[in-house]
Amino acid sequence: MKKLTIKLSILAIATAFITSCNPFEIDEIQDPNNPSVGSVSNNASKEQIQFLITGLESRHRGYVSNVTRAWGTFGREIWNLNASDPRNQTDWLGQNGRVPDRSYFGFGNTGGGSWATPYQAIKQADVLIVAGENTENITTASKSAAVGFAKTIQGYQFMIPANWVYSNGIRVDVKDALNPGPFVSYTAALDAIKVILDEGDQALQAAGSGDFPFTLTSGFDNFKTLGKLRQINRAISARLNAYRKDWSGVLTALDGSFMELNGDLNAGPTHPYGAAPDVFNPIYYLPNAPVNSIIVVHPSMLDDATPNDKRVAEKFFKRDEPVLVTTDAGSLVGQYQDGRWKSNTDPIPYIRNEELILLKAEAHAQLDQSTEAIQAINIIRNAAGIGSYTGSSSKEALIDEILYQRRYSLWAEPWGHRWIDARRYDRLNEIDTSYDKGTIFTEFPHPQAELSWDEYKGD
């Protein structure tokens, strides 16, 4: 009897112990590592808006490595030599008849740096816009400034997927993740981008004057006022209008931009890079680095160079030892590497005064204003130390000249200018494939994930 009492007491104590800790209670575990997107959707603080703006700057540079390497390869500005993965050669150069498919090397099912990444910047800008609209913690002018900044970046980023898939068209209505809009043609997409950029410009204008009310990185050094940001917006519009073949629109936009005919050709905003916790310049390589995974200058750039072109001397660094990569499609040898960067923390410019002057030249040439066109061309030529233009002033000759100058002035900038330029003038077949026996791609199909989504929604 006594023993049973002891046993029952022990059980009772045990039961009480178990009940007191309540082992059935499960906490709702909040994300211990990150804040949630939901935390900014309603009445975000000024600091939270600031974090989203800086986040947008970060998303804004996401495309740089992929676009520079891949599009640069497509336009044979460079070879992205990589002994560790031969597909950087075989697939990107279209060797042995390879053509882009929906999950091509380097782009995957989502289109990677040429599709998903720019759209992530667009999404980030949308979240910023919504967060700005739904908060009482910043002034109306600040809201307008944030919207203007967001839409300016969106305009720039939308052009990346549009140029990648070109005639296949892109989605421009992408605000609702579960209900994206239809694909629209390249022309329609560019028109939609124009609207976004114009809205951005108006919003910046509506925000008043003076400094942009949020902190920007050194990437916007010299562009931190509302007025200067509008100049960036207009510069991007000028590039867009050239793609839209709206030549007078190019000139109008340039008027509002930071173009300065006698100014520093390098003036313009940049993507900043730095040591951790930032990331390094993703296309920097140490001079003469004894590696065989490195961006090298495409040999045609040297073959076609004008003697004494300062751009060749400044941008192309001749290695002591060439870089050799062999694949099942043969071997490629690179003698020159990218000489533009002094260190791995150098910022990468993405739209410069030099490009704006070349756009001016192109627009004038297209509008048969050869004098103004040649004037602009000569600014570039003289800066490169190759003397003034002496060729024909026919439109065709001037366009030839401008495209040639663009190859050297805008070489390997994070845009793939040569590939896009050759395509918009229907000159893809002029790109030199004699070294790699590859193919010049015109465009990419939509990435597989887009197709899959439409299929899923169709069910």
Partner 1 sequence: MIYKPLLTLVFLILSIGISQAQYTVTGNVSDERTGETLIGASLLIKGTTSGTITDLDGNFTLPIPNSNGVELVISSIGYNSITLKVSPSQTTLNITLKQDATNLDEVVVTGLASSVKRSNLANAVSTVSARDLTGTTTIQTADGALYGKVAGATIRSNGGAPGGGMSIQLRGISSLTGASQPLIIVDGVYINNSFQSTGRAAVSGAGGSNQDDGSNRLADLNPADIENIEVLKGPSAAAIYGTRANAGVIIITTKRGVEGRTTVSLSQDVGFANPLNLLGVDNWSEEKINFFFPEQTRAQELERFRAAQASNTFIDYEDYFYNNQATLLNTRINISGGDDKTKFFVSGNMTSEDGTIKRTGFDRYSIRANIDHKIAPWIKLGVSSNYINSSTDRGFTGNQNNSGASIGYSIAYTPNYYDLRRNADGTYPTNPYFSENPVAVTDFGENNSSVNRFIQAFTLDIDILKTDKHFLKAQIAGGLDFLNNATEVYLPEFLQFQSSQANPGDIFVGRQESLNTNFQAALVYNWNVGRVNMNSQAGMVRLDFQNHSLFNRGRGLVPGQKNLKQAAVQEINSEFESEVQEAGIFLQQEMNFEDKIIGTLGIRWDKSSLNGNPNEFFAFPRASMAVNIANFDFWNSSAITLLKPRIAYGETAGPVPFGSTYTPLGGTNIGGLLGSTVATSIGNTAIIPETASELEFGVDVGLFNNRFSLEATYYIKNTQNNIQNLNLAPSTGVNTTPSNEAELSNKGVELGLSGTILEKSNIRWFSRVLFWKNTIEMTRLGIPTYLSGGFGSGLGTFLYAEGYSPTTIVGTPADPSVPGGFTVWGDAQPDFNLSFSNSISLYKGIELSFLIDWRKGGSNINLTSFLNDGGGTTNGWFDDDNGDGIPNGRQREPEPYNNAGRWIQDASFVKVREIGLYYTIPRETITQWFGGTVQGIKVGSSANNAFMFTKYPGYDPETSTFGAQAVQNNVDIAPYPTSRRIFFHLTLDF
Enumerate residues 215-234 that contact partner 1 by CB under 8 A: 215, 217-219
Stretch that binds partner 1, among 113-121, 143-151, 222-230, 409-417 (CB under 8 A): 113-121
Under the binding rule (CB under 8 A), the answer on residue 432 touching partner 1 is no
Judged by beta carbon, residue 329 or residue 358, the one nearer partner 1 is: 329
Task: Give the Cβ contact number of residue 42 at 10 Å.
Answer: 10
Using CB under 8 A as the binding rule, the residues of this chain from 32 to 71 that contact partner 1 are 32-40, 48, 51-59, 61
Judged by beta carbon, residue 188 or residue 333, the one nearer partner 1 is: 333
Under the binding rule (CB under 8 A), the answer on residue 109 touching partner 1 is yes
Binds partner 1 by CB under 8 A, chosen from 16, 136, 176, 426: 176
Collapsed DSSP state (helix, strand, coil) of residue 118: helix
Picking from 84, 78, 410, the residue whose alpha carbon sits closest to that of residue 92 is 78
Collapsed DSSP state (helix, strand, coil) of residue 35: coil
Under the binding rule (CB under 8 A), the answer on residue 439 touching partner 1 is no
Q: DSSP states of 227-253 as a string?
A: HHHHHHHHHHHHHHHHHTT-HHHHHHH
Under the binding rule (CB under 8 A), the answer on residue 29 touching partner 1 is yes
Helices 46-60, 140-165: inter-axial angle, 10-degree rounding = 20
Helices 247-256, 353-366: inter-axial angle, 10-degree rounding = 150
For the bound state, the minimum distance from the C-beta of residue 432 to partner 1, rounded and expressed in Å, comes to 17
Under the binding rule (CB under 8 A), the answer on residue 303 touching partner 1 is no
Under the binding rule (CB under 8 A), the answer on residue 438 touching partner 1 is no
For the bound state, the minimum distance from the C-beta of residue 57 to partner 1, rounded and expressed in Å, comes to 5
For the bound state, the minimum distance from the C-beta of residue 23 to partner 1, rounded and expressed in Å, comes to 4
Instruction: Supply 346's token pair.
Output: 């150098």
Judged by beta carbon, residue 3 or residue 20, the one nearer partner 1 is: 3
d(CA 349, CA 149): 18
For the bound state, the minimum distance from the C-beta of residue 410 to partner 1, rounded and expressed in Å, comes to 24
Binds partner 1 by CB under 8 A, chosen from 150, 159, 170, 376: 170
Under the binding rule (CB under 8 A), the answer on residue 299 touching partner 1 is no
Under the binding rule (CB under 8 A), the answer on residue 115 touching partner 1 is yes
Q: Is 105 exposed, middle or buried (0-12, 13-18, 19+ CB in 10 A)?
A: middle
For the bound state, the minimum distance from the C-beta of residue 399 to partner 1, rounded and expressed in Å, comes to 33
Using CB under 8 A as the binding rule, the residues of this chain from 245 to 274 that contact partner 1 are 272, 274
Buried b / exposed e over 405-423, threshold 16 CB at 10 Å, is: bbbbbbbbbbbbbbbbbbb
* Residues 204 and 148 sit within 8 Å (Cβ to Cβ): yes
d(CA 416, CA 444): 14
How big is the CA angle at 72 (ends 152 and 281), to the nearest 5 degrees? Answer: 65
Binds partner 1 by CB under 8 A, chosen from 210, 290, 387, 391: 290
Under the binding rule (CB under 8 A), the answer on residue 324 touching partner 1 is yes
Q: How many residues bind partner 1 (CB under 8 A)?
A: 111
Under the binding rule (CB under 8 A), the answer on residue 371 touching partner 1 is no
Distance of CA 185 to the CA centre of its chain: 21
Under the binding rule (CB under 8 A), the answer on residue 11 touching partner 1 is yes
Q: What is the DSSP letter of 211?
A: B
130 to each of 178, 400, 403, 436, how far by Cα in Å?
17, 45, 41, 48
For the bound state, the minimum distance from the C-beta of residue 226 to partner 1, rounded and expressed in Å, comes to 19
Binds partner 1 by CB under 8 A, chosen from 16, 20, 25, 371: 25
371, containing H or E segment: helix 370-383
Which strands make up the sheet holding 316-327, listed edge to edge? 78-82, 293-297, 330-338, 316-327
Collapsed DSSP state (helix, strand, coil) of residue 431: coil
For the bound state, the minimum distance from the C-beta of residue 421 to partner 1, rounded and expressed in Å, comes to 25
82 to 101: interface string for partner 1, x by CB under 8 A: xxxxxx---x----x----x
For the bound state, the minimum distance from the C-beta of residue 306 to partner 1, rounded and expressed in Å, comes to 24
Judged by beta carbon, residue 50 or residue 375, the one nearer partner 1 is: 50
Stretch that binds partner 1, among 64-72, 177-185, 201-209, 426-434 (CB under 8 A): 177-185
For the bound state, the minimum distance from the C-beta of residue 108 to partner 1, rounded and expressed in Å, comes to 8
For the bound state, the minimum distance from the C-beta of residue 253 to partner 1, rounded and expressed in Å, comes to 26
Binds partner 1 by CB under 8 A, chosen from 1, 20, 320, 396: 1
d(CA 94, CA 114): 18
* Residues 399 and 405 sit within 8 Å (Cβ to Cβ): no
Judged by beta carbon, residue 155 or residue 272, the one nearer partner 1 is: 272
Using CB under 8 A as the binding rule, the residues of this chain from 117 to 136 that contact partner 1 are 119-124, 126-127
d(CA 312, CA 315): 5
Stretch that binds partner 1, among 109-117, 140-148, 201-209, 407-415 (CB under 8 A): 109-117
Picking from 273, 141, 259, the residue whose alpha carbon sits closest to that of residue 211 is 141
